[in-house]
Amino acid sequence: MAELLSRSPEETALLGRRLAAHLEARDVVALTGVIGAGKSLIARAIAAGLGVEVTMASPSFVIVASYEGPPDGPGVNHIDLYRLRDYGEALAAGVEDAVYSDAVSLVEWADHVPDVLPAERLEIGLEPTAKPEERLIVLRPVGEDLGARLGDFITGMVRERFE
Ligand SMILES: Nc1ncnc2c1ncn2[C@@H]1O[C@H](COP(=O)(O)OP(=O)(O)O)[C@@H](O)[C@H]1O
Ligand SMILES: [Mg+2]
- Going from N- to C-terminal start, the domains of the chain cover 2-160
pTM value surpassing 0.85: yes
Model pLDDT for residues 75-107, shown as the tens digit of each residue: 999 999 999 999 999 999 999 999 999 999 999
Distance 78 CA to ligand 2 centre (A): 10
Q: How far is residue 1 from each of residues 34, 81, 163, measured CA to CA in Å?
A: 20, 23, 20
Rounded to whole angstroms, the Cα distance separating 150 from 22 reads: 7
Domain 2-160 is in which class?
A: alpha beta
Model pLDDT for residues 99-152, shown as the tens digit of each residue: 999 999 999 999 999 999 999 999 999 999 999 999 999 999 999 999 999 999
Q: Are 139 and 4 in contact (CB under 8 A)?
A: yes
Residue to mutate (ligand 1; options 12, 32, 41, 137; most atoms within 8 A of CB): 41
Ligand 1: residue whose CA is nearest its atom 13: 36
Of 76, 12, 27, residue with least CA distance to 50: 76
